[in-house]
A and B are shown apart, each in its own frame.
Chain A
Amino acid sequence: MKRKSWLVLMALVMAFGTLLAACGSGSSNTGTSGESGDGATAAQDLHINMSAEPPTFDPAQAKDSQTNTALRLMYEGLTRTGTDGNPVPGVAEKWDVSEDGLKYTFHLRDNAQWSNGEPVTAEDFAYAWERVLSPKTTPASEYAYQLYYIKNGQEFNEGKVKDFADVGVKVVDEKTLEVTLANPTSYWLGLTSFYTYYPVNKKNVEANAQWASKADTMITNGAFNLTTWTTGQELAWTKNAKYWDAASVKLNTVTASLVNSGATEFSSYQSGQLDYAGAPTGEIPTDQIPAAKQQYPDQFQAKGIASTYYYLFNLKEKPFNNLKIRQAFSMSINRQAIVDNVTLGGQIPAYGYVPPGIKGNTEEFRTEYKDSYFKEDAAKAKELLAEGMKEEGYTTLPEITLIYNSSEAHQKVALAIADMWKNNLGVSVKTQNQEWSVFLDNRQSGNYQIARAGWTADYNDPMTFLDMWMKGNGNNDAKYDNAEYDALLKDAQASQDNAKRMEDMSKAEKILVQDDMAMMPIYYYTSVSLVKPNLKGIVVDFSGAIDFTRAYFQ
């Protein structure tokens, strides 16, 4: 029957079959060879989700948290971050520091080798760092500034110093690397565990410029090798038998699906497809957090991480060029209510800028210097607003727009805060969401009045939060300009005395938040995740970066 209509069907199917042949050729070997999803417990096979595919597997090009998670599995720097957050020996088995804190001599362990069996040498590190800094590297490394601590690193990157021999990196012999810093920097050692400092296999990189774009051309020195890379679909790593510390690596494989949906991720965790869900690799949707907490009280984790969520005032534009108006806006919201009812992830209300988790002199900076820079007080805020308006000669406030990048979470916070302003100050603020790049463009070019912002630590020192507010800093989107602030920070940067540095930085923070109210802190982030009860050994560092290399199933 219906001969013709079947013809129609056949023709259609064949037309697209041809397309399939034409376009679908090549590399989607999706078959994950015989993994039994439910046998995960005994098999030491970890399943996670990454909400985006790492854009690169080249340490010199890395700049985002997904790549960080992936590279931590595959590479090891001179040091690693230990369970207590301090640097522990990695490729370097020991190191000496000179009296003046400028010169580090690293002694590489003899059994450190690449996945192809070649030894990891001091030359591999020097070469990797030269690649990061060299102005000739294509594409240019966006994180090159992480190596500016090294003597002449910045000058070499900017092309002012031509010869890498003048940069403070010296290969003494195959297993000895000598590094000279520009300034004594107490936290620099911790940075040697960061991805920009990872070594690369010199021979391999020089032989093949595309080495990092295929799984089988990568030569790495970490606990795992990337073995499956299905574009947009899945990544899988297998334990690297050549890794010097392979004995303490218990997982056999790590498999990451690449799904950009918190809801799907949560469902997959519920169904047992995933062993780990949530930050920093994925996301538990805010509206599912109460359900997750209730359903898995022993698997739900909300850890504080060193990041701050805040609103940025445009200090050059009306009306936020006025201090009292800024203070009024900042004092008239209820931060506790926001974290309890809107964000739901156990975040901590912020009254300062440096988050908990950042080291101070002997304890955490936030423990040593409390963030009691201001208090929420609606009545006082209203008075301040009236005074501020009088100073500026306003009878009514100019129209105010709050911008944030499109995301349900940011939207909820923005609406809650706008509502608080309306109730407590009687001010109507327009909220506007903007697509990510448009938003960043507006914020960077000063085309805003109040904008959402967030800042994550690059290294474990308050300076990573404070130096961005110095005049001329590339991240000073608020165009904050206070000579006293800059002087205090320069003092701290030059000093070797840690107690004095912390003192300086706390004074600077007080100026920034209490005296100038240059921005409006809202909360300190937490990292919300679900972890299967028998999955142990995951290390999350101060910044929220995750290390699965020593994870195992009990």
Chain B
Amino acid sequence: MVRYIASKFLYMLLSLFILASATFFLMKAIPGNPFMSEKNVQPQIKERLMEQYGLNKPIAEQYLQYLGNLVKGDLGISMKYQNQEVSQRIADTFSPSLQIGIFAIVISIVVGIVLGLIAALYHRKLIDNVAMIIAVLGIAVPSFVLATLIQYIFALKLGWFDVMGFNEPSDFVLPVIALAVQPIAFIARLTRSSMLEVLNADYIKTAKAKGLNGFTIMTRHVVRNGILPVVTYVGPMTANIVTGSVVIEQIFGIGGIGRVFVDSITNRDYTMIMGVTIFYGVLLMLARFVTDILYVLVDPRIKLSGRKGS
């Protein structure tokens, strides 16, 4: 287990290095600089700014300097927001994204699995059909359409919630729903099909023949085996949701990290682009890492070092 984790960790560092390097050079390759506006900056001022931010040095030197700071854990100062630490801005704006994201994740996993289970148990019955129609709708309707729709109905017309903002507990409700519906639908379908497959498997028949009661069969055999595809999906989904949905955040006026990322690119805020990219990278890799470990916990058949016998 330790060896497995260590090697995974090394791979993560390597991926991170590649990510940082690729982003750095791609970012420098796009036209523009952080000091642009409709009114042109005077050449001597621009030169001074480039010098002050170290942007007039050879690109290789800038790159090495950036890596050096990164190793020290220093993401630098934003080039757009005066005197503000990149890490602080990321922390500040990640917080709302994360809070909403966690709610959305928990709700989508619980509701999705329950819905999928029920549908599988009542296969081809009315409940199954209804659940699956809802699921198909959930997948088919883009989240921004749904977000606008529920905002219009529940906030504007009925006045139950604020249209925008992130101040009160009730401000969580609409964005969480908007974020959760698609994953719920996806997880429900995933759970249902994988459960159906398991329910028809020989070992379930064996279990039944052995005379195990339904509850034990469900928990010990069906769910445990049927949940694997869901676990695979949940890892990336989690990373996806907590990194913030630009569109949902925009519609509900939540100052999350999604907008910071998009704005940083528009502003050519180099340090911020790098900071958020690396932060996203770490999140995604952590999510995959956790998924890998969960696999093993859920299904002992998957050996940690299964690829090459240990």
Binding site for B on A (CB under 8 A): 1-5, 7-9, 11-13, 15-17, 19-20, 23-28, 30-32, 37, 49, 52-53, 55-58, 61, 63-64, 135, 138-142, 144-145, 158, 209-210, 212-213, 230-234, 257-261, 263-264, 267-268, 270-271, 273, 435-438, 440-442, 444, 453-456, 474-475, 477
A selection of 22 A-B contacts at a CB cut-off of 8 Å is A4-B223, A13-B105, A24-B91, A26-B88, A27-B88, A56-B81, A135-B48, A139-B53, A142-B35, A142-B37, A209-B83, A231-B88, A232-B93, A232-B256, A232-B260, A233-B166, A261-B250, A263-B148, A267-B156, A438-B32, A442-B31, A455-B38
| Nearest chain A residue, comparing its CB with the CB of B37 | A63
Judge whether B163 is part of the interface by a CB distance below 8 angstroms.
yes
- CB neighbors of A among B137-161 (8 A): 148, 151-152, 155-156, 159
CA distance A32 to B290 in the complex (A): 36
- The answer to whether B82 and A257 touch across the interface, beta carbons within 8 angstroms, is no
- The answer to whether A264 and B163 touch across the interface, beta carbons within 8 angstroms, is yes
Task: Give, as a whole number of angstroms, the nearest-CB distance from A269 to chain B.
Answer: 9
> Which residue in B99, B162, B223 is a CB contact (below 8 Å) of A37?
B162
| Nearest chain A residue, comparing its CB with the CB of B218 | A1
Judge whether B231 is part of the interface by a CB distance below 8 angstroms.
yes
- The answer to whether A25 and B266 touch across the interface, beta carbons within 8 angstroms, is no
Per-position binary interface string of chain B over residues 203-229, scored 1 when its CB falls under 8 Å from any chain A CB and 0 otherwise: 000000000000100110001100100
Judge whether B133 is part of the interface by a CB distance below 8 angstroms.
no
Task: Give, as a whole number of angstroms, the nearest-CB distance from A10 to chain B.
Answer: 10
CA distance A31 to B171 in the complex (A): 12
CA distance A442 to B38 in the complex (A): 12
> Which residue in B102, B167, B215, B250 is a CB contact (below 8 Å) of A30?
B167
Given known contacts A55-B82, A212-B83, is B92 in contact with A474 (CB within 8 Å)? no
Stretch at the interface among B12-20, B39-47, B119-127, B177-185: B39-47
Determine the chain B residues whose CB is within 8 A of the CB of A158 once the complex forms.
44
CA distance A241 to B109 in the complex (A): 52
CA distance A461 to B275 in the complex (A): 43
CA distance A232 to B102 in the complex (A): 20
- The answer to whether A3 and B219 touch across the interface, beta carbons within 8 angstroms, is yes
- The answer to whether A437 and B31 touch across the interface, beta carbons within 8 angstroms, is yes
CA distance A208 to B120 in the complex (A): 65
Determine the chain B residues whose CB is within 8 A of the CB of A213 once the complex forms.
82-84
Task: Give, as a whole number of angstroms, the nearest-CB distance from B110 to chain A.
Answer: 7
- The answer to whether A233 and B96 touch across the interface, beta carbons within 8 angstroms, is yes
Instruction: List the 9 shortest-distance A-B pairs measured between CB atoms, nearest first.
Output: A437-B32, A232-B255, A233-B255, A231-B92, A259-B253, A56-B82, A213-B83, A140-B48, A441-B31
Task: Give, as a whole number of angstroms, the nearest-CB distance from A448 to chain B.
Answer: 13
CA distance A417 to B123 in the complex (A): 59
- The answer to whether B290 and A257 touch across the interface, beta carbons within 8 angstroms, is no
Given known contacts A31-B167, A260-B250, A271-B163, is B32 in contact with A440 (CB within 8 Å)? yes
Judge whether B201 is part of the interface by a CB distance below 8 angstroms.
no
Task: Give, as a whole number of angstroms, the nearest-CB distance from B119 to chain A.
Answer: 16
- The answer to whether B294 and A11 touch across the interface, beta carbons within 8 angstroms, is yes
| Nearest chain A residue, comparing its CB with the CB of B161 | A271
CA distance A454 to B99 in the complex (A): 41
Determine the chain A residues whose CB is within 8 A of the CB of B218 once the complex forms.
1-2
Determine the chain B residues whose CB is within 8 A of the CB of A230 once the complex forms.
92, 255
Determine the chain A residues whose CB is within 8 A of the CB of B219 once the complex forms.
1-4
| Nearest chain B residue, comparing its CB with the CB of A20 | B98
- The answer to whether B36 and A440 touch across the interface, beta carbons within 8 angstroms, is yes
- The answer to whether A8 and B52 touch across the interface, beta carbons within 8 angstroms, is no
| Nearest chain A residue, comparing its CB with the CB of B109 | A9
| Nearest chain A residue, comparing its CB with the CB of B222 | A2
Per-position binary interface string of chain B over residues 38-81, scored 1 when its CB falls under 8 Å from any chain A CB and 0 otherwise: 11111111001100110000000000000000000000000011
Q: Chain B interface residue count: which class?
A: 35 or more
- The answer to whether B45 and A140 touch across the interface, beta carbons within 8 angstroms, is yes
Determine the chain B residues whose CB is within 8 A of the CB of A437 once the complex forms.
30-33, 36, 266, 268
CA distance A30 to B104 in the complex (A): 20
Given contacts A440-B37, A454-B38, 6 further A-B contacts (CB under 8 A): A2-B218, A142-B45, A264-B252, A268-B164, A270-B163, A440-B38
CA distance A268 to B286 in the complex (A): 38
CA distance A39 to B49 in the complex (A): 47
- The answer to whether A441 and B164 touch across the interface, beta carbons within 8 angstroms, is no
Determine the chain B residues whose CB is within 8 A of the CB of A270 once the complex forms.
156, 163
Task: Give, as a whole number of angstroms, the nearest-CB distance from B89 to chain A.
Answer: 6
- The answer to whether B90 and A23 touch across the interface, beta carbons within 8 angstroms, is yes
Determine the chain A residues whose CB is within 8 A of the CB of B252 once the complex forms.
264
- The answer to whether B238 and A12 touch across the interface, beta carbons within 8 angstroms, is yes
Determine the chain B residues whose CB is within 8 A of the CB of A231 once the complex forms.
88-89, 92-93, 255
Determine the chain B residues whose CB is within 8 A of the CB of A23 once the complex forms.
90-91, 94-95, 98
| Nearest chain B residue, comparing its CB with the CB of A268 | B163
Task: Give, as a whole number of angstroms, the nearest-CB distance from B240 to chain A.
Answer: 13
Given known contacts A1-B219, A26-B91, A27-B92, is B82 in contact with A139 (CB within 8 Å)? yes
CA distance A12 to B260 in the complex (A): 25
- The answer to whether A268 and B253 touch across the interface, beta carbons within 8 angstroms, is yes
Determine the chain B residues whose CB is within 8 A of the CB of A2 once the complex forms.
218-219, 223
Q: Name which of B31, B106, B148, B155 has the most chain A CB atoms within 10 A of its CB.
A: B31
Given known contacts A230-B255, A437-B32, A440-B38, is B92 in contact with A273 (CB within 8 Å)? no
Given known contacts A2-B219, A26-B91, A259-B250, is B37 in contact with A8 (CB within 8 Å)? no
- The answer to whether A16 and B223 touch across the interface, beta carbons within 8 angstroms, is no
| Nearest chain B residue, comparing its CB with the CB of A435 | B266
> Which residue in B36, B38, B105, B167 is a CB contact (below 8 Å) of A12?
B105
Determine the chain B residues whose CB is within 8 A of the CB of A456 once the complex forms.
38
CA distance A145 to B91 in the complex (A): 36
> Which residue in B89, B94, B148 is a CB contact (below 8 Å) of A24?
B94
- The answer to whether B162 and A264 touch across the interface, beta carbons within 8 angstroms, is no
> Which residue in A5, A11, A233, A436 is a CB contact (below 8 Å) of B254?
A233
CA distance A4 to B221 in the complex (A): 11
- The answer to whether A271 and B106 touch across the interface, beta carbons within 8 angstroms, is no
Determine the chain A residues whose CB is within 8 A of the CB of B162 once the complex forms.
37, 268, 271, 273
Judge whether B251 is part of the interface by a CB distance below 8 angstroms.
yes
- The answer to whether B223 and A267 touch across the interface, beta carbons within 8 angstroms, is no
> Which residue in B92, B102, B253, B266 is a CB contact (below 8 Å) of A28?
B92
Determine the chain B residues whose CB is within 8 A of the CB of A441 once the complex forms.
31-32, 36
CA distance A268 to B39 in the complex (A): 32
Determine the chain B residues whose CB is within 8 A of the CB of A61 once the complex forms.
82
CA distance A253 to B70 in the complex (A): 41
Determine the chain B residues whose CB is within 8 A of the CB of A233 once the complex forms.
93, 96, 166, 254-255
CA distance A271 to B156 in the complex (A): 6
